[in-house]
Chains A and B, each alone.
Chain A
Amino acid sequence: MARIRNVRVWGADRARDVEIGAPGPDVEGEGKWLVPALVDLCCDPGFPGFPVREDLASLGAAALAGGFGDLVASPRVDPVADTPEQVAQVPRVAPGGVRLWPAAAQTQGLEGKELAEIGLLGRAGAAFLSDGGVPIRDTVVLRNALEYARGFGTITMLRPADADLDALGVAHDGELAVRIGLRGNPAAAEEVGIARIVALVRATGAAVHLTHVGTARGVDAVRAARAEGLPVSASTPARNLLLDEDVLAAGTYDTRWRLHPPLRTAADREALVSAVREGSLLLCADHQPRAPEEKDLEFERAVPGSTGLESAFSAALTALGDLDLVVAAFCTGPRALLPERTGGWALVDPHAEIAVRAGDHRSRARNDALEGRTLRGRVLSCFPAASVA
C-alpha cells in the first residue's frame, strides 16, 4: 500500500504520514494536500457512438489526471441513453477505478415529446434523469416529466434555457457579438429557462439540478429558489469562472471558445464566482471531448464544447484562490447529490502552476477552452477507491 509522507489531509490540522489504501510507490507529501476526489456532474463520455472523441480508457485516464473519482455520464450519446438496456450497458467503472454514474434521458431520444421509462431506467441503474443539455420546448412535457420523476425520487438535471431563444446565436447577445458579427444568444434564454423550471419545481415538488448556469440573473434566481426551500441545486463549468465573452474580442473566431451556452459577460463571470464562494452554485468539469474535425470548422458550424477534466481543478483554484472552496464546490457538494455514498482522494499541490496544453492531455480530445492559460494548482495523483488511514 502506498504511503504519503508529511501530507496535509483535508479537514486535518497538521501534516502527517498517510497510508493510502491503494497500491503504489511511497511519495513525499510536503506542501501537498489530500482532498476528496472531485465529481464531474456534467460529463459527456463520448461513448458509445463517438469513437473519435473519447473511449472508456481515455476518459478514465483523463479523469484520474484531473483528480476526478466520479463522473456523471450524460445520456446525449449515440444511441441516446433512454432505455434500461442502454443504461445497463454504461460501464460503471473505468480503468483506474473512476466511477461512472449514468444519467438517463428523461424523454425518448431527448426529443422532449414522450417520457422515457423513468422507473425502469432507475431500476437499470440510472443515477439521474437528464435533458442531456437539450432544453425541452414543450412546458407540459417538462412538467409531466418532473411530476413523474418525483414519484421515484430521482434528481432531474436540466440545462435551463428557452429552446427558441437559445437557438438564436453562438455568442453572448450583447455589444461584443454585434461588433464581431456573430449571432447573439441572449441571457434571457437562461433567465426564462430558470424561471420556468423553478415554477414547475414549486408546483411539482420534484428535485432538480440546473446545469450550465452562466448569468448573473440566473444565479439570483437560483439563490431565490434555494432560499424559498425548493429542492433546486445548480452548477457551472469551472472554466466559466475564468473565461468570459472577452476572449472573442480579438475577432479570431477561434472555435476553442465555441461553447453552448456561450461565455457571458465579465459581470456574469464575477457573479458566478461569488455564487460559488457563498455555496449557492456547485462546479462541474463539463467535459465535452470533440474531435479535431468537429472543431476545425467555421465558428458557427463547429461543434460546441470544451474538455474540462484535466484543467477544471486548476481553473477552480485559480478563480477561487482557496482550496476549501474548491473542495466544497467540486467534491463534497456534488457528492451529496449522488444517489450513493462515494469516496476517493486526490493528491494536489495547490502552489504549483500548470500551463494548459491539451496536447499533453490524456483525453483523446484536444479542445480545451483554457488552452495556453497558466493556472494555479496541480493534481499529482488520484485514488478513486482509496481510503485514508
Chain B
Amino acid sequence: MKRKDMLGLRDVAREEIQEILDVADQMREVGRRRVKKVPPLRGRTVVMLFFEASTRTRTSFELAAKRLSADTLGFNVSTSSTAKGESLMDTARNIYAMQPDAVVVRHAYAGAPHMLARAFPWSVLNAGDGINEHPSQALLDMLTMRDRLGALEGRTVAIVGDVQHSRVARSNIYGLTTMGAKVVVAGPGTMCRSELRGLPVEVRHTVDDVVRDADVVMMLRIQRERLGRAVLPSAREYAAFYGLDLQRLERARPDVVVMHPGPINRGVEIAADVADGPNSVILDQVTNGIAVRMALLFLTLGSGEEATA
C-alpha cells in the first residue's frame, strides 16, 4: 500500500482493502503469543490526538502501536489546549514539532484529519471525523465478516439505525460495496432520509425488510449525545420498531452474523440475549480491531524504513 494516510474508505481501492485485511489477518498471530510484541515500528512515535472522548478506539490503537513496538503518546485535547482557545492547526504544529511519525486523530468535525494530513508529512489515521468516516472500524468489521463468511463479494449486509449520522455506517458502506457486497439500510425516517440515495445503498423501510435476506446485520448505536431535536420519540419506541430482538432474529437466516460497533445500549438497538447470543460476533470485532489497526500503522508508516519527512 502506497498511501501515507488512512482518512476514509471512500477512495480506497479493492486491492488496498484486500491488502489491509490480509496483513491484519497475519497480525492477529501476535496477539496470541505470550510475548505480544514485534519490532517493525521500533523507535517510531505514534501520537493519539483525540478531540472527542473515546475509550475503545483509543486503547485499541494504543495497543496496536505498542504491539508493533512504537512509542505512543496521548494528548487529551478536550481538556487542554483547545479549552484555552488554541486552533486545530496550532495544536498540530506543536505536536508536529515533537517529531512524531504518525498521528491517530478523532475529531467532532468532518475533514479535520484531512487538514492534518495535508499540513505535514506525517501519517494520519482517522479514528472518526464528525459524521464522515471511521475507516478502521469498518475494516475491523470487514475482517470479522470475512472470518465468518469467506469472501465479501455477493454478500448482503444490513445496517440498521442512524445511518445518516453514522461514520461507522458511512465507512462500511464505502468499503463493503468496494469489495462487492450489497448494503441495505433501514431506520426511522429521521435517520435514513431520502438523501441517502447519494450512497451506494438500498434504503428499505422496516427492519424486517432488511433482516430477511441479510448475511450480516449490523446494528448501529443510538448516539444519544448526537441526536438533534425531535429525532426520536423514545428509547422504547426505537426498540419496538428498530431494535434487534430474538423475535426479529428468527426472521433472519439461522447463521446470520450479528454485529455492533459498541458500546451497546442493551434493550434499545439490540436485546441482551441477541448481543450475547451465538450469532453475535461483537467481541470478535474488538479483538480484530487491534489487528486491523496494527496493519494500518504498519502499512502507512512503512515496514521500518525511515520516514520521508
Contact = CB atoms under 8 A, between A and B. Distances in A.
Contacts of B271: none
B167 interface: yes
A253 B115 contact: yes
Interface string B186-212: 000000000111110000000000000
B133 interface: yes
B87 A176 contact: no
A299 B107 CA distance: 12
A178 B199 CA distance: 7
B133 A181 contact: yes
Given A181-B130, A297-B88, A298-B112, A251 B10 contact: yes
Interface in B227-276: 228
Contacts of A177: 195, 198
Contacts of A251: 8, 10-11, 111, 114
Contacts of A300: 109-110, 130
A251 B197 CA distance: 18
A276 B110 CA distance: 34
A123 to B, nearest CB: 41
B195 A178 contact: yes
Q: How large is the interface on B (under 10, 10 to 19, 20 to 34, 35 or more residues)?
A: 20 to 34
B132 A182 contact: yes
B13 to A, nearest CB: 16
Contacts of A183: 130-131
A340 interface: no
Q: Label chain A's interface by main secondary structure.
A: loop
A181 B167 contact: yes
Contacts of B107: 298
B197 A299 contact: no
A168 B112 CA distance: 19
A178 B196 CA distance: 6
Contacts of A184: 195
Contacts of B130: 181-183, 300
Interface in B74-122: 87-89, 107, 109-112, 114-115, 118
Contact of A298 (B111, B118, B228): B111
A299 B131 CA distance: 13
A174 B228 CA distance: 18
B198 A182 contact: no
B131 A181 contact: yes
In the complex, which of the residues A293, A297, A298, A299 has the most CB atoms of chain B within 10 Å of its own CB atom?
A298
A112 B1 CA distance: 55
Contacts of B141: none
Contacts of A293: 87
B39 to A, nearest CB: 36
A14 interface: no
B90 to A, nearest CB: 9
Contacts of B115: 253, 298
Nearest to B132: A181
A176 B196 CA distance: 9
Nearest to A293: B87
A265 B50 CA distance: 34
Interface of B: 8, 10-11, 87-89, 107, 109-112, 114-115, 118, 129-133, 164, 167, 170, 195-199, 228
Given A251-B10, A253-B110, 4 more contacts: A180-B132, A252-B111, A297-B88, A300-B110
9 tightest A-B CB contacts, nearest first: A175-B198, A181-B132, A253-B111, A298-B109, A178-B198, A181-B110, A300-B109, A299-B111, A178-B195
26 contacts: A168-B228, A174-B198, A178-B164, A178-B196, A178-B198, A178-B199, A179-B199, A180-B10, A180-B110, A181-B110, A181-B130, A181-B131, A181-B132, A181-B133, A181-B167, A182-B111, A182-B130, A182-B132, A183-B130, A183-B131, A251-B111, A253-B110, A253-B111, A296-B87, A297-B89, A301-B109
